Amino acid sequence: MPTLSLRRTAAVPAGPQLAKALLRRSMGEHETQRHRCVHCRRTPLTGEVVHVYAGTSGERLVCELCRPLRREEPARSELMHAPEHERSVRIAHRAA
């Protein structure tokens, strides 16, 4: 029985552009899920202590480096950790 060989053809010439667009969109979604410092906009490192302040528009996260910029005491301080199954950095609540 004769074998039939099929060649792949590039039906979409915009392969690299499509890949870049998908990467940009996924990074944008990833960025919105991150916690950031309200002063320096830096994402706190895993293991870093962050301070949470209560405000009229909700809770505001302040990193350890920007803590001296605030006069009032934080509502609470928490340890940042990276979950094993998620890629975004989340807050780990610790008992007082």
% of residues, the chain, pLDDT over 90: 30
**Residue 14: inside a domain:** no
**Residue 10: inside a domain:** no
Q: Is the pLDDT of residue 30 over 60?
A: no
Q: Which pTM was predicted?
A: 0.54
Tell me the C-alpha distance between 14 and 34, whole Å: 31
Range of the domain at 85: 35-92
Count of helices and strands (H, E) across the chain: 1, 4
Q: Phi and psi at residue 17, in whole multiples of 5°?
A: -70, -40
Q: What is the pLDDT of residues 46-88, one digit of tens each?
A: 889 999 999 888 889 999 999 999 999 999 999 887 655 455 5
Please tell me the predicted confidence (pLDDT) of residue 89. 55
Number of domains in the chain: 1
- Could you tell me if 92 and 35 are in contact, meaning their C-beta atoms sit under 8 angstroms apart? no
**Residue 60: inside a domain:** yes
**Residue 21: inside a domain:** no
Q: Is the pLDDT of residue 5 over 70?
A: no
Residue in the block written with tokens 């060989």: 5
